Amino acid sequence: DAGITQSPRHKVTETGTPVTLRCHQTENHRYMYWYRQDPGHGLRLIHYSYGVKDTDKGEVSDGYSVSRSKTEDFLLTLESATSSQTSVYFCAIRATGSGEQYFGPGTRLTVT
Amino acid sequence: RKEVEQDPGPFNVPEGATVAFNCTYSNSASQSFFWYRQDCRKEPKLLMSVYSSGNEDGRFTAQLNRASQYISLLIRDSKLSDSATYLCVPSRSNDYKLSFGAGTTVTVRA
């Protein structure tokens, strides 16, 4: 157990509304990641963070922003949700040294 | 060319059988590899890490072929609980991002 929690676990929202997903870790890992997973696409990186206030874009960052004001929390915001952002969102941390990533339980987001 | 390619399957095998599948990767600089298993509607979980030519953990064996740029995963004596999607992930030491394959689905039947 890598001590990663995500909230909310499920959310239904309407098109055009802002949504924030939270990832919380308890083990002080430097690197944190947000992925989305859709059928036929596998896991795709949205944004990642390499420290407090240090973030960078992944391959599918359009429409998403992130913030990391504390080591333990990494927030993903959908500025104006669209139906194409209906997906399962996973947060992950990178273990120091090994490069292995460990995932949170996921957030299932539906945009209607 | 995709960085990681996996046969999506599904591989349908009876309990007790051996099943093996490959993952090809395009970046020859990949130094280590991870296999994750993912159950339906759950998060990926690390199954095995490969830092040299291969690794073995119980009924699971990973074998790396650097010359042909593929890594295989073999499952012996399959159990019903092995039914899952297996994700292949190459890793490079100077890159903190991972590229995940889309996965190979294995279904073990009684």
- Calpha distance A110→B21 (Å, rounded): 34
- Which residues 32-51 in chain A show a CB within 8 A of chain B? 33, 35, 40-43, 45, 48, 50
The reply to whether residue B96 touches residue A104, judged by beta carbons under 8 angstroms, is no
Is the CB of residue B80 less than 8 Å from the CB of residue B108?
yes
Which residue on chain B is closest to A104 by alpha carbon? B43
pLDDT of the residue at A1: 61
State mean pLDDT over A24-45: 93
- Calpha distance B50→B34 (Å, rounded): 6
State mean pLDDT over B87-98: 88
- Calpha distance B106→B103 (Å, rounded): 10
pLDDT of the residue at B31: 86
The token duo for B8 is 């999506």
Sheet strands (E) in A71-111: 73-78, 87-94, 101-103, 107-111
Task: With a cut of 80, say whether residue A85 has pLDDT above it.
Answer: yes
Report chain A's mean pLDDT, rounded to a whole number.
95
Least-confidence region, from A31-40, A70-79, B71-80, B90-99: B90-99
